[in-house]
Amino acid sequence: MAGGNAIRGTRVGAGPMGESERGESAPRRRVSYWCANGHESRPSFAVEAEIPENWDCPRCGLPAGRDEQAPPAPPRNEPYKTHLAYVKERRSDADGEAILEEALMKLRKQREEP
């Protein structure tokens, strides 16, 4: 007998019993969702489960809704902002000049001290 693996050619979870081993599956229903690109996805839900209003499209990732004629709008992507852009939103040019002047005064004072 050649050395080898005794379970060669089988996969994990494979067995002769199949569905009866796991029990009966819950009754299901399919629900259609459409994204802004016109893709339809039809996930299945248990009959007793609450059906969500929105679902992520598996093809493009956009949000999908149950109304084919009015799918949800794609989310608006904010452009990347630098730290300086955020600072400029919070401070005026006059504030920036005052802060700069204060920092320069501190540096000059430190240089004068022995």
Q: Binding site for Zn(2+), residues? A: 35, 39, 57, 60
Positions at the binding site: 35, 39, 57, 60
* CA angle, residues 108, 111, 114, in degrees to nearest 5: 140
Asked if 47 contacts 67 with a C-beta cutoff of 8 angstroms, the reply is no
Could you tell me the sign of the dihedral formed by the alpha carbons of 75, 80, 85, 90, in that order? positive
Query: From CA 56, how far away is CA 65, in angstroms rounded?
Result: 9
Residue type, 103: A
CA-to-CA separations, 51 to 39, 42, 84, in angstroms, rounded: 19, 12, 44
Return the residue matching tokens 């060669």.
Answer: 8
